[in-house]
Amino acid sequence: MSEKAILKVVGLSVSFPKVDGKRGEKYKVISNMDLEINEGEFVCVLGPSGCGKSTLLNCVAGFIPYEGIISFKNHSITGPGPERGVMFQEYGLFPWFNVEQNIGYGPKKRKWSKKEQKELVDKYVKMVGLENFRKSYPNHLSGGMKQRVSLARVLANKPEFLLMDEPFAALDEQTRQKLQEELLQVWEQDKITCMFITHSISEAVFLADRVIVLMPNPGRVALNLRIDLPRMRDRNDPRLLEFSKAISDVLFHNKEA
């Protein structure tokens, strides 16, 4: 394992009860998985439905029990913690709070000073380009704007590690591409270590420093691919197509590395 790794996963296995099985019968979602993520790295985890992508994220977030070892900064993960911020596909905004109240919820709950709360809200409202909507409520925002608020709310809690579970999957392609670019601009400012779950090959090769491809039955690492291209990337760059093909060969033709 790398000395630089901020997150270490060793021998991870996760089993769930079978819905139609006998009492106590289980099926294995993830089996003996090893992986690591370095500090400041943007890693996309990609794979078909049922391969354990979201299960892996939920284990790292501390939401579900697991077998094996998961450590963050050499401390075992046994439950949720403020150092790990999670952003889901669903917006999860409080409908009775406006934009700035949603963004400031975490700092307020953590009892930071009012000055700190205001500075954080101002910083992230501006960072996600919603200065003109800070008093607006979620029902007055578009889907893309809601996801900007969700991202700002997570970042305002000052996490060291950002976990994103297909946050743009429900958006139209134009909005999705725009938010991908905005996410990278935000990430470049703070360089928070990021694990980003996706179904999309094009999204993964556009965003990631490294793409980890999982395959199902049970979930396992089939490919660990470094995308050694500078950002901001040109979506029509033929080198991106080469990386996409390498991933497609694993996903669709079982050419595991």
**C-alpha span between 153 and 68 (Å, rounded):** 31
According to the model, what pLDDT value does residue 4 have?
77
From the list 206, 157, 202, the residue with the least C-alpha distance to 42 is: 206
**Cα 182 from chain centroid (whole Å):** 15
Copy the structure tokens of residue 68.
Answer: 């094996």
pLDDT at residue 56 greater than cutoff 70: yes
The side-by-side arrangement of strands in the sheet containing 26-38 is: 26-38, 5-17, 67-72, 75-76
> What are the pLDDT digits (tens) for 168-213?
888 889 888 988 998 898 888 888 999 999 999 999 999 999 999 9
Query: What is the crossing angle of helices 143-156 and 114-127, to 10°?
Result: 140
- In the chain, alpha helices (H): 53-61, 99-103, 105-109, 114-127, 143-156, 173-190, 201-207, 238-253
Of 2-6, 44-48, 63-67, 210-214, minimum mean pLDDT range: 2-6
Residue with tokens 């009775």: 96
Chain region(s) in the chain for CATH 3.40.50.300: 5-83+161-253
According to the model, what pLDDT value does residue 171 have?
83
> What are the pLDDT digits (tens) for 213-243?
999 989 999 999 999 999 999 999 999 999 9
Q: Which fold has domain 5-83+161-253?
A: Rossmann fold (3.40.50)
Per-residue pLDDT averaged across 160-167, rounded?
93
